[in-house]
Amino acid sequence: MDQRLATETILIVEDEPKTASLVALYLEREGFKTVHAADGQRALGLARQYTPCFVILDLMLPQLDGWEVCRELRRFSDVPILILSAREDEFDRVMGLSLGADDYVVKPFSPRELVARVKAIRRRVRLQLTRAPTVYTHGELVLEPEKRKVTRGGKAINLTPSEYVLLQVLMAVPGRVFSRQELLDHLYPGGDSVVDRVVDVHIGKLRQKIEPDPAYPSYIVTVRGIGYQFADSEG
């Protein structure tokens, strides 16, 4: 058991009691605390009450479905979200990621793999917080790793963990072209299998938040057939 996890709470949003109990059992074995919500409204209330370090979210929920829970969570929190759902279509995966989820696992699932994914995403977040402080600036856009803060024109921008990773990777080496696979390796250092469009989905959402005109991006530039780069000049 990792003692550093003992005070970290994970919110499990799942209306099937056996599944929720199984997930909680494996997480608690690793030292996490867990809280459980069986419907979407309760999930949002517990998220505000406990400020969890992670959310595992089913999509088919009573009262308020997982899509709406994910959307509402992103209005006030950048907590990592892993969607756990029986819906396996690529459309559903892409939709979940476009709403701000960081990972998507299809039922039936391996509890051990689920815990491994949770820990990998948490490890990625901790690494972001412990890296040597450097401020990246491009025009009005500023990224401060020490504070894990992004602003444009002095106004704070709320990014998901995945969006933050991509922006930091790109801003750290302006002008360098990153392939989609390289960016995927930063998002999923454990080599997890993900759908091909994950990077494009996250970049699209990131542009909506940071670009003055997302239709004509000036910060994150598409390099056709390869991937993306951060603009190397402010002209």
Q: How confident is the model over 24-83, as pLDDT tens digits?
A: 999 999 999 999 999 999 999 999 999 999 999 999 999 899 999 998 998 888 889 999
The answer to whether 70 and 97 have CB atoms below 8 angstroms apart is no
Nearest 5°: the CA angle 21, 123, 195 is: 75
Could you identify the residue written with the tokens 């997890």? 192
DSSP 13: E
For residue 203, name the pLDDT band (cuts at 50, 70, 90): very high
Q: Record the pTM.
A: 0.64
Nearest 5°: the CA angle 108, 121, 207 is: 105
Who has greater pLDDT, 234 or 89? 89
The confidence score (pLDDT) of residue 16 equals 96
